[in-house]
Amino acid sequence: MGAGSVRLAAAAAALLVLATATVCAAQLRRDYYAGVCPNVESIVRDAVTRKFRQTFITVGATVHLFFHDCFVEGCDASVMVASTANNTAEKDHPANLGLAGDGFDTVIKAKAAVDAVPQCRNRVSCADILALATRDAIALAGGPSYAVELGRLDGLSSTSSSVNGKLAPPSFNLDQLTALFASNGLSQTDMIALSAGHTVGFAHCNFFTGRIRGPAPDPTLNPQYAAKLQAWCPANVDPRIVVTMDPVTPRTFDNQYFKNLQNGMGLLASDQLLYSDPRSRPTVNALAQSSEAFNKAFAEAMIKMGRIGVKTGAQGNIRRNCAVLN
């Protein structure tokens, strides 16, 4: 296939993704539950607030969960489904084993709160509850709030094998990250903005030990930061040990993530390369410079991500239990 044919094929694929996203966006609307559960947003917000007061881990865990859900078979809460004797579900794929239990618990508690209202019982999808809970958790940590489009149905399946190739490992370079996000209708700017989800949350040591071990640390890593990471994650460290992804403002959802990249303090290799690569550095600098620009870019990207692979009609249903297929 010639270069021209490759470009045409890529353009056609991009148009297909855009067309699909447009159809999904048309099926979603803010007032989707107005006639059956008009107070769903306040019910979910109250449940998330209670969970947030119990543990700040709620924020990063819920954000992480939403990302991993949408990038695998779309935003359909399939990541919530528990494995059975006959099926290994998404959540038990190696790439999802790091998802904190508090994210799952946030959705379960919000679902219980919604279903406690008789008119709302089994009328609101787990997928929509996860989307709302993510927005609310971000706002509680000081991040931008935004309108959540509703009307997603829950997926009818959840398999570990469906995760393969859908989530970005820390080893991805800029071209690989850009291509993965483009396959989901998201631009490189969206990808960079969404990477700020790492401004809250934690990472297990094994996700970045390659950057701090060996003859010399990764040269893109701030030496003082590398020394701290070596102390926090010594050789043969307990694999359950985690490190905050933003060492400066770990409990605030803000644009400090991008300032950290400017200072060589991106925890994962796939974080730091956003600044190291001259093609993405201008966007990092712009988002580091302006909280307003960051909030706008992040909110817009989250709305777009919430449209990925939306299930409607016979493609899905409303789960009675988020962890069990109907």
Rounded average pLDDT per 10-residue block, the chain, 326 residues: 47 48 67 97 98 95 97 98 97 93 97 98 98 98 97 97 95 96 98 96 90 87 94 89 93 97 96 98 98 98 97 95 97
Q: Which of 68, 93, 198, 204 is catalytic?
A: 68
Query: Can you give the pLDDT at residue 3?
Result: 45
Query: Strands 316-317 and 154-155, how do they pair?
Result: antiparallel
Which DSSP state fits 60? Answer: H
Angle separating helix axes 291-305 and 126-140, nearest 10 degrees: 170
Instruction: Tell me if residue 316 falls in helix, strand or coil.
Output: strand
Q: Which amino acid is at 197?
A: G
- CB under 8 Å to 140, separation ≥6 — which residues? 48, 49, 52, 59
Query: Can you give the pLDDT at residue 216?
Result: 80
Active site residue 68: yes
DSSP states along 255-297: THHHHHHHTT--SSHHHHHHHHSTTTHHHHHHHHH-HHHHHHH
Tokens of 287: 């988002």
pTM: predicted TM-score of the whole model, two decimal places: 0.91
C-alpha Rg value of the chain to the nearest Å: 20
Query: Can you give the pLDDT at residue 26?
Result: 52
Query: Can you give the pLDDT at residue 65?
Result: 98
- Name the phi and psi angles at 286, rounded to 5: -65, -40
